[in-house]
Amino acid sequence: MASKVDIYNLTLAHIGLPAIEATTDNSKEADAINRVYNQLLEEVLEEADWSFARITVALAEHTVDPPGDWAYRYGYPPDCIRARELVVANSRRMDAPLPFSIELLPDGSDKTILSDTAAAELRYTTLITNTTFFDSLFVGTFSWRIAVEIALPLTKKREMWQAATAQYQLLKVRAITQNDNQGYSGPKAKPGALKARS
């Protein structure tokens, strides 16, 4: 399990810079990472359906009616970074993805989810900031992504930035592949079987 400062120091080690003692250090290295950390965390979380950041919740119907071409409007979970899949309650899989659309309310005041599915649940990537939940390959991928961003400003070496970029791309593919090979949801649920149970 990596702490936040562990991720900072792994990033700095990637590009040959000295370690820091705390993320609040008064140093150019800590300052550079602090400026990009939150933005890049969201970016890398969006890259894949990471199992440690995956959550499924029952959606609450919105008080504003949906437009005419949709049957339901649901509220958008506030911690959702990337909506992955809409599912029927009490079912693991469907034969085909259930259609949905993410749209603002007409007045632009709220993000919502439009669907034709009743009692829908949303599987999504949540914004998880507790680094102890990050798996080791995600930590490596994330640290290399930060290294890409800070390598040139801190080292002034273009070859360091190029090396960091290459390492990030390689490790990202490996991390996503391993993540996708985790778990098994069982046979796909048949729509007829779902109706029979309802």
What is the percentage of the chain residues whose pLDDT exceeds 70?
89
Number of domains in the chain: 2
The range of the structural domain enclosing residue 15 comes to: 4-48+135-180
Residues 118 and 139 in one domain: no
- DSSP string for residues in 57-72: EEPPBPSSPPPTT-SE
Whether the predicted pLDDT of 145 surpasses 50: yes
CB-CB contact of 106 with 119 (8 Å): no
In a domain, 90, yes or no: yes
The whole-number average pLDDT for the span 36-60 is 96
pLDDT at residue 91 is higher than 80:
no
C-alpha to C-alpha distance for 111 and 93, rounded to whole angstroms = 26
Do 91 and 150 have their domain in common? no
- Could you tell me if 107 and 42 lie in one domain? no
Degrees, nearest 5: CA angle 125-130-135: 70
Nearby residues of 36 by Cβ (< 8 Å), 6 or more positions away? 146, 149, 150
- Of 9-23, 24-38, 93-107, give the lowest mean pLDDT range: 93-107
Quote the tokens at residue 137.
């390959």
10/61 same-domain check: no
172 inside domain: yes
Token pair listed for 187: 């046979």
Q: Are residues 111 and 57 in the same domain?
A: yes
